Structure 1
Amino acid sequence: MKIALPLLTVAILGLAACSAPSPAEKVVNVYTARHYDSDLALYEQFTRETGVKVNRIEGKADELIARMRAEGANSPADVLIAADAGALWRAQQAGLFQPVKSAALESRVPASFRDPDGAWYGFSRRARVVAYDAAKVKPEDVDDYAELASPRFRGKLCVRSSDSIYNLSLVGALIEAWGPQRAEAWARGVVANMARPPEGGDRDQIRAVAAGVCEVAITNSYYYLRMATGEDAADRPVTEKVKLAFPSLDGKGTHMNIAGLGMAQHAPNRENALRLMEFLTSAAAQTHIAANNSEFPVSPDLEAPESVKAYAGFAAHPMGAAAFARRQPEAQAVMSAAGWR
């Protein structure tokens, strides 16, 4: 995985990269919260196929959103890429996207994984799941999200902080399904069950299960799958002890989130931006991302690649990403009221 440079450094490099091109140069300027070599390979392939150079600025989604807002109509950004529907919704609410209508995008991305008005489109899926100690927990103990708040796991749960966009989207989905009162009761149960105050990222929660700090942890599927496939040799023994469960929400399947993209409101290279958006949602690109970053394609017509196929048989909840993304403010309020730091 490519490690992101500090935002200031990236911004300085990006200013040069996104400067006005020569009249003969074709470019597309990408602000991205994804920092993977698999994505870089796709950008290079796009340039080979189209002759359009991809300039990129990397940073956290909220930092990139703040930057685009500050740049206003002078922003060089053509496309914003984020790793969560909630982040895409935040950009949309800030007026940073323009609606895009494309037969290619609409045929490749199911309605549940794109904005109804075309502000943003998903190109990969990931599940919010449970990592558990197989020696202490049975699969049926964690086959429903509600069970994570039960007394069975008092003092035995690891989870990251409430400002994690992944957790906000999960709680947003619970609010959409259950209403705010039941969602807050669940959040209070989660807080009561925490083995330690929230800290670290998803991989840290998985490692904590292996170390015996907790018995269960909430994580995105692709973090576990990347650990299992040997990105870091030290993590392989972790995933031999820790297993993955795909809990259900009201018996309708596992909460699914997306990585996706939208065209910037003031995109100076609109035609090239659309070409890149269509390229990144193509069957070949979806399969490449799934294979190389342990995610799942958004298109139901695409078979999961071998690297994730063994984990692809779960039922996915049909809730649209836009439905839980717009619940971000409510989710934050619910988690704060529950004492989830």
Structure 2
Amino acid sequence: MRRVLPRRISTLAVAALLVPLAAACGTDSADDSGAGSAATKPKKAAGPLVVYSGRSEELVAPLLTQLEKATGTQVEVRYGDSAELAAQLLEEGDRTKADLFFSQDAGALGALGKAGRLAPLSKESLDRVDQRFRAEDGSWVGVSGRVRVIAYNSDKVAKAPDSVHDLTKAEWKGKVAYAPTNASFQAFVTGMRVLEGEDATRTWLKDFKANSPQVYEKNGAVLDAVDGGKAELGLINHYYWYEKAAEEGAEKLKAALNFPKKGDPGALVNVAGVGVLKGNDRSAAAQKAVDFLLSKEAQTYFADETHEYPLAAGVTSKDDLPALGSLDTPAIDLSKLESLEATLEMLREAGMV
């Protein structure tokens, strides 16, 4: 029976994602002279597969129950924020009890990969997913994807902008809704930093803030504001619209979606993904879990239940989603989204968080 581990999050939080911390916590320092030897390195007892999940219990608990049945391995889960869990894993280092990290976004996985905390995945697993949606060094792989989009009120907007750079124009002053404290918006800003540079991103944030956007806490509230006519445009992930359409009926929605064009940073595709922690005694079970999350059963769950893009070949969505290959998304190494602290500092400078 799968049980949920109590949540224990490091007070270092996002700051602990910075790479210098990895050097301090990568090994057990109780006996440096014997580090790595059987006599001194802590040995984990055989037991259940321990998963640190940055995806919410409400969203993925049914899937992890399926994982337990499919692999025949007992699973224990600790839920939390992806960035905070990554910080926890960096702090725990080799002493961690975690075997698998299931992250909401690529940035947290990139931080662990950069710190050398993730074991290489099998080539067979990696090859099931397009190289755009996995680590270049094979340390993690995406299992589901989401696209940044511009939602618009179809009664008020004849043609939505094709670029986030258009949102700083006077015609959209006070008419754009966004959620600056939401992780998906912050990942988008990080993507812009990687793609267009620090100065260009800082300028965009300044100009966007000066255009008086409407501030909301969550993407769902942004979409509701657009659908209700309080805002004409909104920055969200695609699946919020598809969730709302499934619940209320697409024909009843005033909100519609525009996918930004020409490699615009507003068209960022981020992924939820998994990595196997180094030094665990359940590497075979962890690899089986990775393979399950890339299986038709799990990929269909992502497509049908969370309205995300399945990333493994051979599975399609029941939603009327444009094919990922048809979208003019920016070319970016998703592991580089790990530089979240620099993004947060930039957002603080702009007065957004």
Name the SS of the counterpart of 1:89 in structure 2. Answer: helix
Preserved CA contact (<8 Å) 1:210 1:238:
no
Rounded to whole Å, the distance in 1 between the matches of 2:265 and 2:202 is 21
Name the SS of the counterpart of 1:190 in structure 2. Answer: helix
Rounded to whole Å, the distance in 2 between the matches of 1:195 and 1:154 is 7
Q: Give the structure 2 partner of residue 17 of structure 1.
A: none
Rounded to whole Å, the distance in 1 between the matches of 2:250 and 2:72 is 44
Preserved CA contact (<8 Å) 1:248 1:254:
yes
Are 1:150 and 2:169 counterparts? yes
Which runs of no fewer than 5 residues in structure 2 stay unpaired? 10-43
Rounded to whole Å, the distance in 2 between the matches of 1:187 and 1:316 is 23
1:18-54 per-residue CA deviation (whole Å, 9 max, x = no partner) reads xx87x6xx63111101125563333333333331112
Distance 1:78 1:61, change over 3 A: same
Distance 1:287 1:60, change over 3 A: same
Match of 1:309 among 315, 320, 327: 320
Identity %: 26
Preserved CA contact (<8 Å) 1:206 1:219:
yes
Q: Give the structure 2 partner of residue 75 of structure 1.
A: 96
Preserved CA contact (<8 Å) 1:169 1:327:
no
Q: CA deviation at 1:321?
A: 4.0
Q: Give the structure 2 partner of residue 264 of structure 1.
A: 277
Are 1:286 and 2:305 counterparts? no
Q: Give the structure 2 partner of residue 170 of structure 1.
A: 188
Rounded to whole Å, the distance in 1 between the matches of 2:210 and 2:277 is 42
User: With structure 2 as the length reference, what TM-score do the two structures score?
Assistant: 0.79
1:281-307 per-residue CA deviation (whole Å, 9 max, x = no partner) reads 2243223211211000123x435321x
Distance 1:240 1:311, change over 3 A: farther
Q: Give the structure 2 partner of residue 16 of structure 1.
A: none
Give the AA of the match of 2:206.
Answer: R
RMSD between superposed Cα atoms in Å: 2.9
Are 1:207 and 2:207 counterparts? no
Rounded to whole Å, the distance in 2 between the matches of 1:191 and 1:148 is 10
Mapping for residues 95-114 of structure 1, pairs under 5 Å: 95=116, 97-114=117-134
Give the AA of the match of 1:174.
Answer: M
Give the AA of the match of 1:127.
Answer: V
Kindly tell me the number of residue pairs found equivalent between the two proteins.
315
Are 1:48 and 2:59 counterparts? no
Are 1:123 and 2:181 counterparts? no
Rounded to whole Å, the distance in 1 between the matches of 2:164 and 2:128 is 30
Q: Give the structure 2 partner of residue 226 of structure 1.
A: 243
Preserved CA contact (<8 Å) 2:299 2:315:
no
Q: CA deviation at 1:59?
A: 1.2
Distance 1:291 1:271, change over 3 A: same
Preserved CA contact (<8 Å) 1:6 1:59:
no
Mapping for residues 170-189 of structure 1, pairs under 5 Å: 170-189=188-207
Give the AA of the match of 2:292.
Answer: F
Name the SS of the counterpart of 1:320 in structure 2. Answer: coil
Name the SS of the counterpart of 2:310 in structure 1. Answer: coil
Q: CA deviation at 1:200?
A: 1.1
Distance 1:64 1:220, change over 3 A: same
Give the AA of the match of 2:259.
Answer: F
Rounded to whole Å, the distance in 2 between the matches of 1:57 and 1:214 is 37
Rounded to whole Å, the distance in 1 between the matches of 2:239 and 2:70 is 29
Name the SS of the counterpart of 1:259 in structure 2. Answer: strand
Distance 1:250 1:98, change over 3 A: closer
User: With structure 1 as the length reference, what TM-score do the two structures score?
Assistant: 0.81
Q: Give the structure 1 partner of residue 13 of structure 2.
A: none
Match of 2:332 among 308, 320, 323: 320
Preserved CA contact (<8 Å) 1:86 1:165:
no
Q: CA deviation at 1:117?
A: 1.3
Preserved CA contact (<8 Å) 1:65 1:91:
yes
Which runs of no fewer than 5 residues in structure 1 stay unpaired? 10-19
Rounded to whole Å, the distance in 2 between the matches of 1:323 and 1:30 is 21
Q: CA deviation at 1:178?
A: 2.2
Distance 1:51 1:317, change over 3 A: same
1:197-237 per-residue CA deviation (whole Å, 9 max, x = no partner) reads x331100111122333321111111122111111xx5xx58
Q: CA deviation at 1:94?
A: 5.0
